[in-house]
Amino acid sequence: MAFFKAKEEQVSLKLLVNTETNKVLFAEAEKDFVDILCSFLTLPLGTIASLLQKESNMGPVTIGCLNKLYRSVENLRLLPSNNSSEDYCRTLKINIDDTQPTKYFMCSKFNDYNYRYHHYLTTGTNKLYCSFGNRLNRSVSLAQLCNGFVKDAATFIVTDNLTVLPHSMDHTLFGLINNLGMQSTSLVKEMTVNVTKKKVLDLLKCSLLSKTPLTDLFLGMKPSIASSRILPYDIKNVIDGGIYITVKLVVRKSSNTILFAQGGQDFADLIIRFLTFPLGGVLRKLEGNSSLGSIDGLYKSITNLNEDNYFKCKEARNRLLTLSVLHYYCNYRFDARNKRIFDAMLFKRDDEDRSNDGNFRKMKLVNTISSMGSPYGQVNRPEMYVVTDDLVVEPLLSPISSLYLLNRFEIPLSDLKEQVVVIGMKESLSILKAALTSTSALTNGLRHLLTKVKAEE
C-alpha cells in the first residue's frame, strides 16, 4: 500500500493550432512523446483489445472484431502469452500497458550432463525440470537493449494525423505551414499541453479511429470516425506459409455471408494467435494498409525515419516491424569451477537480426502454451471449435451443441449451406485484415472462396 500518491508522470507537448478552424496543425514533440507513439506499434492486438475496453476520458471503444475475439478467448481462458516489447516499453515515461512483466526461468544449475538443457527457458512457471533434480527455476530478467526507441536529443514534428517527421531542413516551420495551405501566420497560436496516462489511452483509441487524433484529443472534439472501406486484400505477394487448415463454413445463401466456421484446434489457434501479433508487425504484413484511423501514416512515417539518425539502436526499429516470433538470447557468465552461472540476462532478438555474436546463446522457449492455464488442461482441450463471422471463438463440445448454435441465428435451414474450404497464409491475412475494420471478418476475409449461389428459378 502506498502512503502517498506519486506525482503523475506527464509529457509536455507544444501544439500549433489554427485558430480559425480550431485544428491542430502539428505538434513539436520530443523523445518521450514519440516513444509513446512507437510503443503503440509494439502492442499485441490482444493488449490493444484489453486497453480499448478500459475507461479513459473517452469510454470504451470497439475496433472491428478485436474486442469480441478477445473477450471470447478470455472466457475460454485461452489467452495467449502477452509477450509485448516489455524490454523497450518499461523505459517509457508513460506506459499504458499494465500487463505484469513476464517471468522467465532457466535451469537452476549447469553442468556437463545437462549442457543441452542450458538453452531451455520457460515463462510463468518454475515447476518444470530440465533434467532430474534440476529445475527450470532460476529467475532471469529481460535486459534492455536500448533505452526506448528514438534518440534523446531528437526533435520531431507530429501532424494531426500522426505522421512523424524529423525536425530537419526538409521540414521547416515555413514549409509546413505553407504545405497546410495557410496564407498567414496570424491565425496560428501556440499551445502547450500536458499528456497524462489517461490522455495516452485516449490517444491510442483516437489513433485507431480518427484521422485527426491530436485535434480530437486536445481541442475537445469527438473523434471523427472515418468509416473505413474494406478493401479486398491484394494477395499477390504472399509467400506460402505452410498453413493448410481445413474448415467447414456455414453460409447463408440469400446473403452469401458466413455465419460461422467450424474447425479443429489448428483453426482456433490461428484465430487466437492474432491477439499475439504486435500492431507494427501486422501493418508490415498488410504493407501499411490497415485502414485503421491514423495508424497507417504513423507506421509509414516511423519506419521511414533514418535508422542511424533517429533510432537509439537498430533493434529498436526492427522491433516495430516484427510479427514473427522473437528469439531469446541469454548472456551469462559461467563459473566453471563452481559449475554455476551468474549475471544471467535475457535478450530478445529478431529472427532477421543476424548480428548476434558468439556471446549470445540461443534460448528455446518451452511451454508458453501450457502456462496459459486453460480450464481444460493442456491435454483435454476441446477438439472442435466454432468461430463466428465476428470472430467469437467457442468450443464445439458435441454435434448436438451445434443445433443450439444454428437456432441462435434463427435462419431457415433451406437458406443455409455448408462449404469446405482450405485456409492458407493468404486467407489468414485476409481474415486478419477484415477483423481490424469490420464485424464480418470471415465473410469479408474469405469472400473470394465463397462459391456463388445461382438464383433459384
Ligand X SMILES: *[C@@H]1O[C@H](CO)[C@@H](O)[C@H](O)[C@H]1NC(C)=O
Q: Which residue has the cell 502469452?
A: 81
Minimum distance from CB of 325 to ligand X (Å)? Answer: 4
Chain centroid to Cα 330, Å, comes to 25
Residue with nearest beta carbon to ligand X: 297
Minimum distance from CB of 281 to ligand X (Å)? Answer: 11
Minimum distance from CB of 287 to ligand X (Å)? Answer: 4
Q: What is the contact surface with ligand X in residues (CB under 6 A)?
A: 80-83, 99-100, 102, 108, 124, 133, 135, 137, 159, 161, 163, 180, 192-194, 233-234, 276, 286-287, 289, 296-297, 325-326, 365, 368, 371-372
Return the C-alpha cell found at 291: 485502414
Q: Which is nearer to ligand X, 82 or 265 (CB)?
A: 82
Minimum distance from CB of 2 to ligand X (Å)? Answer: 19
**How far is the C-alpha of 152 from the C-alpha of 144, rounded, in Å?**
16
Q: Which is nearer to ligand X, 228 or 368 (CB)?
A: 368
Q: Which residue has the cell 475537445?
A: 220
Q: Which is nearer to ligand X, 98 or 152 (CB)?
A: 98
Kindly give the pairing relationship between strand 138-142 and strand 340-349: parallel
Q: Which is nearer to ligand X, 137 or 224 (CB)?
A: 137
Q: Distances in Å between the alpha carbon of 20 and those of 177, 213, 375?
A: 14, 18, 58
Chain centroid to Cα 348, Å, comes to 17
Minimum distance from CB of 330 to ligand X (Å)? Answer: 13
- Of 370, 318, 308, 304, nearest to 347 by C-alpha is 318
Decide: helix, strand or coil at residue 270: helix
Tell me the CB-side half-sphere exposure of residue 247, using CA atoms within 13 A. 33
Decide: helix, strand or coil at residue 58: coil
Q: Which is nearer to ligand X, 234 or 307 (CB)?
A: 234
Q: Indicate the angle between helix axes 265-273 and 66-75, nearest 10 degrees.
A: 130
Minimum distance from CB of 180 to ligand X (Å)? Answer: 6
Judge contact between 327 and 360, C-beta under 8 A: no
Minimum distance from CB of 68 to ligand X (Å)? Answer: 19
Q: Which is nearer to ligand X, 200 or 259 (CB)?
A: 200
Q: Which is nearer to ligand X, 62 or 374 (CB)?
A: 374
Q: Where are the beta strands (DSSP E) in 202-287?
A: 245-252, 257-264
